[in-house]
Amino acid sequence: MNTAAIFLLASIFLLVILILFYLLKAIMKFRSEKEKLGHRDTSNVGFVVNTFHELVSKLKEKEKELEILRKLAEQRAEDVESYNRDILQSVPSGVMSFDRDLKIKSINSSAEKILGLKAEGAIGKGYDELLGAPIAELLKEGKSVERGEIQYQTSDGRGIHLALTFSPLCDSEGKDIGHILVFTDLTELKALESQAELRKRLSSLGEMSAGIAHELRNPLGVIAGYTKLLSKKVDGALIPTVEAISKEVDVMDRIISDFLSFARPIELNISRVNLNDMINSCVSSIIGNNSNIVVAMDINKSLVISGDEILLRQAFTNLVQNAVEAMKESGKLSFGYTDTADYIEITVSDTGHGVPEGIRDKIFLPFYTTKEKGTGLGLAIVHKTIVSHGGSIIVDSTNAGTTFRLRLPVTVNVK
């Protein structure tokens, strides 16, 4: 029973006591007047009528007071309910409540954002109409879950990592009236943890492999020298073979150069970089006049960031090159950004075939590639460049395309 109901019952009880009090008072007054008058001829009816009017007048006054108190109690209850609703809508965790038939009763704004749902289209519907596995399976089982973690794909195709709690929902008397699901989006946290681990692995790999790359370059130089000598002494029939050897030597030399560039510690040359101009330059160098690629640039032309322009240009060129190859030279390439007091997030999106979920954790590893031709160092260099600026890079991908989110600090500190 809520506060307003208790207060109303108490007020009614008080009113009844007042009515009884005034009736008793009127009877006693009537008897007293009658004794004083003795046998004289008076109008008992007039006395009773006057007393009744007096009683009614006082009752109306008490009724007004009661109405004021009732409105105050209702307003207090509404304020408490509104305050609780504001708290629920403000918490960063998603909160969904269900009745005993597992139909959605409420959903807060964080749950809408995390799961890509709308409250007006969700209230009253069954869990299986809007939620997919494994959340739907968890609700169907009905077992309580504390601090569970799951991978979930939203209705708009986003893959997210959730920490959740599922428990019975009880009223003030402890009666079971449904279920409540509370969850937090750990996607970005997991991505940062993964990048921290990747950074550690790449650091160790770079230190170890730099020496190996130098050792490979020495015999490669010898092979290149002998190839040039052979090209001058062999007969015409063997020249194509010698040229093929020379070409492969050049390819190997380029791979070693790229790897040494990746393994070498980066020394940043910080300057002010116009982001719009730099990206347009990268797009122009890769796409050129290709009308099959539509470019959407949603970046302020006057936006200036702090960073090493040469390294950032190389990183964005690699991202554009990957996007064009993923779209098979036909599609839409989009750039956007958001900025805060601490960082700027730049998005690079394409409408290509996407990155399969099974390899998303590997795409930043050196020499890992799914292309027939490629060294697998492009995204590894992108990752190293962004991390060296004190930033982070996260990839979101579906069958409809891929988005790279590059987060850079507003001010880069050079150590």
pLDDT digits (tens, 9 = 90+) for 350-389: 998 888 877 777 788 776 676 656 566 788 888 888 888 8
Please state the φ and ψ torsions of residue 134, each to the nearest 5 degrees.
-90, 0
Tell me what pLDDT residue 79 has: 62
Tell me what pLDDT residue 278 has: 92
pLDDT, tens only, 233-279: 777 777 888 888 888 888 777 777 767 766 666 778 889 999 999 99
DSSP per-residue codes, 314-332 = HHHHHHHHHHHHHTTT-EE
Residues 6+ apart with CB under 8 A from 245: 223, 227
What average pLDDT is seen over the chain?
78
- 187 versus 315: the higher-pLDDT residue is 315
Tell me what pLDDT residue 80 has: 63
Please state the φ and ψ torsions of residue 412, each to the nearest 5 degrees.
-95, 125
Mean pLDDT of 60-83: 69
| pLDDT above 80 for 396 | yes
In this structure, of 193-197, 235-239, 383-387, 411-415, the range with the lowest mean pLDDT score is 411-415
- For the chain, state the CA radius of gyration: 39
Distance, C-alpha 87 to centroid of its chain: 19
Length of the chain: 415
Tell me what pLDDT residue 41 has: 46
DSSP state at residue 368: -
Which H helix or E strand runs over 395? strand 392-398
| pLDDT above 90 for 347 | yes
Split at pLDDT 50, 70, 90, the class of 316 is very high
Mean pLDDT of 147-168: 82
Beta bridge partners of residue 409, listed in sequence order? 343
Q: Is this model's pTM higher than 0.75 or not?
A: no
